[in-house]
Amino acid sequence: MHKLNGKSGCAVEVTLSVMGGTWKPIILFHLLRGRMRFSDLGRAIPSVTQRMLTLQLRELEEAAIITRTVYPEVPPRVEYELTPLGHSLEPILVSMRDWGLNYTGAAPVAEPCPLA
Amino acid sequence: MHKLNGKSGCAVEVTLSVMGGTWKPIILFHLLRGRMRFSDLGRAIPSVTQRMLTLQLRELEEAAIITRTVYPEVPPRVEYELTPLGHSLEPILVSMRDWGLNYTGAAPVAEPCPLA
DNA sequence: GCATATACTTACAAAAATGTAAGTCATGGG
DNA sequence: CCCATGACTTACATTTTTGTAAGTATATGC
């Protein structure tokens, strides 16, 4: 045997299944400040590609963490916004930001990112 | 162009670079309760393989999030423990657990995992 | 009537993560 | 002598994730 036992799945794993991965926490963190359109998110997260952004947004939408609103204009406009469930992730996202700020030296001051 | 712009790296990304991924948050969460040996962690996280557990523990050690102590016995015994830096991740891990508990219905009651 | 803008989608390719299974090491016990 | 134990390591295969680049749609302005 190489797995060490049978099954479980603790609460942390549940959370990770919803907001885990490379992009989701970052996307959600930016959305804490309010609705954003696709291109805004892309600009806020320079390292993400269109494809990844689309894929991750779709998954978050399926999980009911965000909503997607299409405005039937030309050129199209699509806005993404946290649902209440999505907003309930705020404590996690904020503590992640705080830890990162501390780790990089700074006191939890203002905006390298949304939210001072 | 397919990336949407140039560069950044916000505080959340920094945190993810240290404790992101499928296994690290779970490992760290279990270690919140105190030192554990390799086989204990394996039992606590049934879905992880020996190989993944070793790899992730090594990375956490390199990041100075945990310490690794080898007791020169036969058969060998190795214990892992959070450093102070590792302990500083507690707020993140605890809020992740809380969210998972809520999401799965329960009120934040007792131990599906370490920490009630 | 042609380019422009936005928010994608699609096909293909490369890279990264993870799994599987076997082997290693040292010693005490039978 | 042989086996068991605990914590690995190694080689290889598979799966999953991510990237690249091109294509789509449609109304508007030039």
- Distance between CA A108 and CA A111 in Å, rounded? 9
Residues of A in contact with B14 (CB under 8 A): 100, 103-104
- Distance between CA A81 and CA A71 in Å, rounded? 14
Residues of B in contact with A25 (CB under 8 A): 12, 16, 20
- Distance between CA B45 and CA B23 in Å, rounded? 9
Q: If residue A84 lies in a helix (H) or strand (E), which one and from where to where? A: helix A84-87
Which nucleotide is at minimal CA–C1' distance from B70? D7
Residues of B in contact with A4 (CB under 8 A): 39, 42-43, 45-46, 48-50, 53
Residues A4-31: tens digit of each pLDDT: 443 456 899 999 999 999 999 999 999 9
Residues B63-108: tens digit of each pLDDT: 999 999 999 888 999 999 999 999 999 999 999 999 999 998 865 5
Find the Å distance, CA of residue A112 to C1' of nucleotide D14.
Answer: 40
**Adjacent-strand bridge partners of B79:** B37, B69
Please give the model's pTM, rounded to 2 decimal places: 0.86
Residues with CB under 7 A from strand C: A 2-3, 37-39, 50-51, 54, 57-58, 68, 74-78; B 2, 21-23, 47-52, 74-76
Q: Of B7, B20, B102, which has the smallest distance from its Cβ to A46's Cβ?
A: B7
Model confidence at A107, in pLDDT bands (50, 70, 90)? low
Strand pairing class (A77-82; A36-37): antiparallel
Residues B19-55: tens digit of each pLDDT: 999 999 999 999 999 999 999 999 999 999 999 999 9
